[in-house]
Structure 1
Amino acid sequence: MATENVPVKKNDMIDIMFEDLTHDGAGVGKIAGFPVFVQRALPGETGTVKITKVKKNYAFGRLLELTKESPDRVEAPCPIFKQCGGCQLQHLSYDGQLKHKQKHVRDVLARIGGLQEVTVHPTLGMNDPWRYRNKAQVPIGEEEGGLIAGFYAERTHRIIDMNECAIQHEENDRVVQLVKKIAKNYGIGGYDDKTHKGTLRHVVTRYGYQTGELMVVLVTKGKELPNKKNLVQDIRAQLPNVKSIVQNINPKRTNVIFGEKTEVLWGEEVIHDYIGDIQFAISARSFYQVNPVQTEVLYNKALEYAGLTGKETVIDAYCGIGTISLFLAQKAMRVYGVEIVPEAISDAKKNARLNGIGNVEFAVGEAEKVIPWWHAQGIRADVIVVDPPRKGCDEALLETIVSMKPERVVYVSCNPATLARDLKYLTAHGFEAKEVQPVDMFPHTGHVECVVLMSRMVSN
C-alpha cells in the first residue's frame, strides 16, 4: 500500500483535536487534513492517540489520554461499555446524542443528497432513554466449564459475560439469567462457533410492553435438547408471565441467529403487544420494532406527514408485518401493502384480522413489480409510504413512484446515507423534500431513524 503522503504511521503517538463523530460514534480528528478515527472520543476534545492502523485515506487510533474534555462527556453507567459492541455513545450526554444525530442527518443529506436547504428538525428523543429494548438475542457459550451469556466484544466473536444490559428491558435480563442457570443445572452445554460443537446457541426473549407477555426462544444446534421437559417446567415455574416457550433449530455454521425450523415446546406460538391502539401478534421470527415507545412516535409522525382525510388510497411499499399499514388504515380510505417475505405478509393479514381492519390488502412480492401491476389494475395512490431496509429503495421502485405521481411520499429510513441518495433521485424527478424528522429509536447507539415528507411539484 502506498503511504508516502500519509502523515502518520502505525504506533505513532500524536496529539489531536476531535472535530466530529462518525455514524457509528467514533471521534474524528485530522492531521494535516488526514482523518484519524478514534473510539470514545468526542467533538471539541483534544487528546493523545496511538495510531493502530493506517490506510491510504484514513487511520485508526486508540485514545491514551484526554487533555481537554467535552462538556457533553458523561460517565457511562454500563460496567462493560468499553468491552461490549452494543452501545457506542453512552459516554455522550443524552442531549448531546440528540444534537449529534440531528447534525449527522443534516450533514449527510447535504453531502450525498445535495439537500442543503431542507429543514431537519431536532431529534425526537425519549423521556427515559434506558431499558427500552423489548427483544434480546443473547449468544450462549462456555468458559472454564461454566455457561456464559452476554454480547460480543466489539468487532469480535468473543462473548462478554454479563448479568444485565442498560438498554434491555429488565424482564429480558431476568429471563436470560434464569435460562442460563436452569440450563447449567441440567448440564446443557453452550455453543462454540469455532468448533461448531455444543447445544445452546442463543437465548432470544421477547417482551410485550403493554401486555406483559413473555416469549422464550431457545436456539439450539440440533433437535436434541437434554432434559427438555424439565427445562420447560422450570422456566414456567419461575416465570409466571411466560406465554410461549419455543425451540428454534439452527444446524448451520453461520452468524445468522435463527434456523429454518421452529417448534413450540409449550404455550402459544405468539405473544401480543400494542403500538398505540393497534394490537400485534409477534412470533419468534417476526420482525417487530424493538423500541415500542419510539415506534409510536415514529409512526404518528409518518401518519401526520401522510396528511390523510379518509379519502386517500395509500401504498406501503415495504410493509413487513403491517405495522405502518395498519396505522395508516385508521385514517385512509384504502391501504395496499407489499412485502417480499411471505411469512411477514401472513403475519400482516393476521394482524389486520386481529384488529378488525378491513380496508387493507397485502401482497407478497417485490414492490417494484407488484406496484406497477396494481397501477395497471387502475389503483391510483395519493400517498406512497416507503420504509426500506438499510440498503434503501431499489431504483426500479423509485422509478415506479415517479411514474405513479402520488401527491405525497413519506419516506421512513434507518440509514441517512441511502436516504440521501434516494431523496436526490426523487428531487431530480419532480418531488420536493419538505421536512425531515429524526427519531431516536436506539438511544446510546449511533443509529438514527428519520421520517421525511416529500410533495410532488406541480409543473406549470
Structure 2
Amino acid sequence: MLEKGLVKVVEIIDINHTGQGVAKINNFVVFVSGTISGDKVKIKITDIKKNYATGEILSIIKPSEFRTASPCTYFQQCGGCQLMHMDYKEQLKYKRNRVISELRRARVNFHEETVNKTIGMEDPYRYRNKTTFSVTEKNNEIQIGPYEQGTYNTVDISSCLIQSKAADEAVTSFKNLMKKYNIRAYDMKTKKGIVRNIVIRNNRKGELMLIIVTTSESFQNKELLVNELSFIPNITTIVQNINNKNTNLSMGIKNITLYGEGTITDTIDDLSFTISPETFFQINPIQTEKLYQTAIEYAHLDKDDICFDLYCGIGTISLMAAKKAKKVFGIEIVNRSIINARENAKKNNISNLEFYAGKAEELLPQLNKQNIKADVIILDPPRKGCEKEVIDTIISMSPKRLVYVSCNPSTLARDIKLLESGGYMLKKVQPLDQFPWTVHVETVCLMSRK
C-alpha cells in the first residue's frame, strides 16, 4: 500500500496530457513531473488520491534514450513548456499517440492508419507571435515572465526561446522603464500597484504590439513611459488594457490606444489580416499556414458550395474558403473579431461572405430554420469543443463534409463520436505541432456522411 514519503524506483511507461510521466506501483498509477517515457527514476510519493498518486524525482537512475538537455535556462521552473527535455521527433510521435488514444477512449470507429504522422517544424524555436507575461515585484525588484509550473508565482526571465528576439528586447526595455519611472507592479494580495501583465503580439514583419494591462487608466509617469516605449525598435503600437477585477484573467474588456493604430496586420497565404488586442489569431504563423491549408484541402470546396465557418474569429479560414466556395457564412461570439473579419474581407477584396456576431449554438439553428443550409461546415471551436445545440444542428442540416479543427484531442474525440452517431464517418486525421515543446497538439479531421 502506498504512503506519502515512500521512496521507490520506477520505470516511466507513458506521458499524460499535462506532460507528467506515468509509472505504476503495484498497478496503481503514479504521475511524476519532469520525466518522460523510458526513464528509470527514484521517486518519493508526495500525494495520494483515490485513483492515482503523485511523486517527485529524487534521482534519475537511467535516462530515457529520448531524454535531451533542455536548451532553456528556465525549464525547471517555467510552466510554459513541458517537453523541453524530450527529443523533438519523439514529441511528434507522442502527439499523434495522444490523438489516437483520445479517439479510442471515446470509442470512435477508425483505423490507426487514418491518423497521419504529426506535421512538425524544421526549426521549432522563436515561433510564437503572442506571449503574455505576469508583472510582479519581489524584494522590491520588478519581475516579468511566465508563471511557475503549477502556481501563480512569476518566473523572472530575460529571454524566452519560443518568442521572438524583438519581444525579448521589448520585455527587458519595459522592465527597465518601470524601474526608471517608479511604476509599481500590481500585488494580488494587497490589491496595490498598477501593472498586472504585459502582452506582446508580433507579425511576420517583426512589428510589435505592446499591451500594458493595468488596474487603472491613469498612473504616475504614464506619458513618459509611453514616449520612451515608442522609440523602441519594432514597437509600432502600444495599447493599455484596463483590468481592475479580482480575477486571474490576463486582460479586461477596455482597451485604450496610447501609440500607433492599436492594431497590427499579419498575413496567411496571400491574405492580409487586421489583429486587435483581444482578437484570436493562431500563435504560430508557419504552422498556421499548414493547418489552414490542410483544412481547406479537406473541405474540397467548389464554386457551387455553401460553406459555414463556425467559431470563425477574424475570418482567417473564412477568407481562404471564400476563394473557392460560392458563399461563406462565418459565426463568432467575439464582436471585435467580427468587426475585424469584415474589415479583412474588404481589405482582401473578397465579397462572397457574411459574418454574424453571436453564439454558434444560437445562430446556427436560426440559419437552419431560415433554410440557409451548408454543403460543407468548418469548425474551429475553443478548447471546450462544440455545444450540444451545434452538434444537433449540424446533424439536422446534414452537410456532405465536415472539417473539424481542434486544439483539444479530448473534446475533439467526444464531438466526433456524437457526429458519428448522427450519421458521419471519420475519414482523415492530421495532427500538427502548433506548440513545440508543449503537450498541446492541433488536429484537423475530415468527416463525411456514411
When normalised by structure 1's length, the TM-score is 0.95
Partner of 2:27: 33
Report whether the alignment pairs 1:151 with 2:146.
yes
Report whether the alignment pairs 1:251 with 2:253.
no
3-state SS of paired residue (2:351) = coil
Partner of 2:254: 261
When normalised by structure 2's length, the TM-score is 0.97
Partner of 2:328: 335
Distance 1:212 1:94 in 2: 26
Percent of aligned positions that are identical = 46
Distance 1:102 1:414 in 2: 13
Partner of 2:289: 296
The within-5 A match list for 1:271-282 is 271-282=264-275
User: Which one is further off, 347-356 or 300-309?
Assistant: 347-356
Distance 2:430 2:337 in 1: 27
Partner of 1:57: 51
Distance 2:153 2:442 in 1: 29
1:143 is aligned with what amino acid? K
Q: Residue by residue, what CA displacement relative to the aligned partner does 1:192-214 show, whole Å, maximum 9, x if unpaired?
A: 111111111111111111x3321
3-state SS of paired residue (2:106) = helix
Partner of 1:413: 406
Partner of 2:73: 79
Partner of 1:175: 170
The within-5 A match list for 1:128-277 is 128-209=123-204, 211-239=205-233, 241-277=234-270
Shift of 1:110: 0.8
2:317 is aligned with what amino acid? I
Partner of 2:314: 321
Shift of 1:114: 3.2
Shift of 1:225: 2.3
Partner of 1:312: 305
Q: Residue by residue, what CA displacement relative to the aligned partner does 1:211-251 show, whole Å, maximum 9, x if unpaired?
A: 33211111111112221222122112232x32211111111
Distance 1:220 1:183 in 2: 13
Report whether the alignment pairs 1:449 with 2:439.
no
Shift of 1:116: 4.6
3-state SS of paired residue (1:409) = strand
Partner of 1:3: none
Partner of 1:402: 395
Q: Residue by residue, what CA displacement relative to the aligned partner does 1:163-201 show, whole Å, maximum 9, x if unpaired?
A: 001111111111111111112111111111111111111
Distance 1:292 1:346 in 2: 22
Shift of 1:54: 0.3
Does the Cα contact within 8 Å between 1:113 and 1:423 map onto a contact in 2?
no
Report whether the alignment pairs 1:366 with 2:359.
yes
Does the Cα contact within 8 Å between 2:110 and 2:426 map onto a contact in 1?
no
Does the Cα contact within 8 Å between 2:170 and 2:232 map onto a contact in 1?
no
Distance 2:197 2:354 in 1: 36
RMSD of aligned residue pairs (Cα, Å): 1.2
3-state SS of paired residue (1:321) = coil
Distance 1:34 1:111 in 2: 19
> Aligned residues, how many?
449
Does the Cα contact within 8 Å between 1:134 and 1:172 map onto a contact in 2?
no
2:87 is aligned with what amino acid? S
Distance 2:8 2:165 in 1: 42
User: Where does the alignment leave 5 or more consecutive residues of structure 1 unmatched?
Assistant: 1-6
